[in-house]
Structure 1
Amino acid sequence: MSVERTLHHFPLDPASRQVRLALGEKRLPFVEVQVRYWEGPTEFLKLNPSGLPPVLIETKHQRTTVIAENRAILEHIEEQEPEPALLGREPGERAEARRLLQWFDRKFDNEVNGFLLHEKMEKRLLRLGAPDLSSLRRGRDALRQHMDYIEGLLNTRDWLAGRRMSLADFAAAAHLSVIDYFGDVPWKDFPATKTWYMKLKSRPAFRPILADRWPGLAPVAHYDDLDF
């Protein structure tokens, strides 16, 4: 019997994008429900008390399972649908993929998104006024440091965690894609990272990401261009 999946997400949320990419890569169909999580909708809070997307609801044999938060969802998907393997096939690569997942969801999110996305997106959604220029500079400086790190990995590896594409690549691409939506990624200064991102953008799983739009927040012109 097939599994019915419903993903509650916000299109410009990096955590939500990671799950969408994983589901797409494994060709698992799902229904999307977009959540205005900053408004604290009661029904969504019942699904995840943190109030943050994503939340995946699965129904099989009339039994429903609710999985909240992206890491829990990604691990669940990998356990339930092991092929294609997205955590690597060797212990070393699986460990490295998990380390990089943590890197982007904690360090990158805090040092880059906490400034750039807060100023350019969250303030707009919450109606908190104009972006603070010093915070934008701080976020852009941190982004370049992270891009240096990614560039170094890709100069010695085929993919971020090793020889095969993994959830680490999806995590990095999910975060960078939202930053790129607002035009802040300095691609020309990081050729290996740009080539890696172009490969990911060309995958079928990435097409829905490139089609994302949010009212009042238009993407830069090159956002959905595969040959940027």
Structure 2
Amino acid sequence: MTDRYAPSTHSPARAPAGQPARLYHTPLSPFSRKVRLVLAEKRIEVELAEERYWEQGPELFRRNPAGKIPVLRLDGMLLAESQAICEYLDETVPSPPLMPDSPAGRYEVRRLCAWFDDKFNAEVTRPVLNERVWKKVQKTGYPDSRVVKAGLSAIKAHVDYMHGLLEERRWLAGPTISIADFAAAAHFSCLDYISDVDWDRSDLVRQWYATIKSRPAFRNVLADQMPGIHPAPHYALLDF
């Protein structure tokens, strides 16, 4: 599920020409969801191919030498690393724009994407999902309640930080929606699937998530189902 950086000397791998766009993903991967949300916002039609990344099969490494998902097959290329994919999509399909015009604005989007994909993921998403979901799916043991408790405690500071941003801005990075909002929403949606977000902590964050959750781009994400793990009753409700 992690999307951390790995050294590579490879340029983008080539895919056979003429094939439809396809995203190799895992439903409760926040990195996969971030790319799915950007694809949907850009109205790019794409096939979804579920990847059991933990099995580390040879096809996964052929598509991405780092052995990680998501991987997007598009325009005869195999694209890896969620942030790089999202920015490539924004540059090649400029409408609607999801990166600001100014260097300072783009910096802020990238800073917040790194905040959620690195810090939030390490402190909240990865430990909580690993204990609550992936141990069950991968049959690697039972949840450690101490790890879950620590993750759910850590989320409070992140919600408070987001509350402070939203007191000054319409969206997380500024006046318009950006990749930063989709990065954050991807993580929160994975946690919300298993009902691990205290939405009562901040009305501003709750309203932000309700607004982004109601966008057409979110429809397919809200339809996700993990076998044997049912979503929270409110998960797909636009009004919680």
Runs of 4+ in 1 over 4 A off after TM superposition: none
Q: 1:33 aligns with which of 49, 61, 74?
A: 49
Aligned to 1:190: 202
Q: CA shift at 1:41, angstroms?
A: 2.2
Aligned to 2:80: 68
Give the alignment's TM-score, normalised by structure 1.
Answer: 0.94
Cα distance in 2, alignment partners of residues 192 and 31 from structure 1: 34
Render the CA deviation track for 1:110-131: whole Å, top value 9, x for unaligned: 1112321111112112212221
User: Which AA in structure 2 matches 1:191?
Assistant: D
5+ long unaligned stretches in structure 2: 1-17
Aligned to 2:166: 154
User: Is the CA contact 2:42–2:95 (under 8 Å) kept in the aligned structure 1?
Assistant: yes
Q: Does 1:82 align with 2:98?
A: no
Matched-pair identity in %: 45
Give the alignment's TM-score, normalised by structure 2.
Answer: 0.90
Aligned to 2:221: 209
Aligned to 1:200: 212
- The number of residues matched between the two structures is 223
Q: Does 1:17 align with 2:29?
A: no
Cα distance in 2, alignment partners of residues 146 and 189 from structure 1: 11
Aligned to 2:110: 98
User: Which AA in structure 2 matches 1:159?
Assistant: W
Q: Secondary structure at the match of 2:192?
A: helix
Q: CA shift at 1:92, angstroms?
A: 2.2
Aligned to 1:46: 62
User: Which AA in structure 1 matches 2:105?
Assistant: E
Cα distance in 1, alignment partners of residues 189 and 38 from structure 2: 15
Q: Does 1:134 align with 2:134?
A: no
Cα distance in 2, alignment partners of residues 22 and 136 from structure 1: 29
Cα distance in 2, alignment partners of residues 145 and 210 from structure 1: 26
User: Which AA in structure 2 matches 1:85?
Assistant: P
Render the CA deviation track for 1:124-176: whole Å, top value 9, x for unaligned: 12212221111111001111111111111111110000100000000000000
Q: Does 1:118 align with 2:130?
A: yes
